[in-house]
């Protein structure tokens, strides 16, 4: 098994995290018809990283 490194997110990570979040939303959309139209966000990632 490969070791896992956990670190705090950096501002440079923001774009990748936003893409990842949208991937999760896309996957969940078929299970939850109550999700609003795109674009939606679960978290204010920019604020969380700052």
In this predicted model, what pLDDT tens digit does every residue of 7-37 receive, in sequence order?
999 999 999 999 999 999 899 988 988 888 8
In-domain check, residue 4: no
**E strands present in 3-44:** none
What pLDDT, on the 0 to 100 scale, is given for residue 15? 96
pLDDT at 2: 92
What domain count does the chain have? Answer: 1
Q: Which residue range forms the structural domain that includes residue 28?
A: 11-49
Buried b (16+ CB within 10 A) or exposed e, 22-34: eeebeeeeeeeee
- pTM score of the predicted model: 0.77
* 22 within a domain of the structure (yes/no): yes
């Amino acid at each position: 098994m490969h070791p896992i490194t956990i670190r705090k997110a950096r501002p440079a990570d923001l774009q990748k995290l936003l893409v990842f979040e949208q991937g999760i939303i896309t996957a969940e959309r078929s299970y939850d018809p109550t999700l609003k139209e795109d674009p939606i966000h679960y978290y204010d990632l920019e604020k969380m990283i700052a």
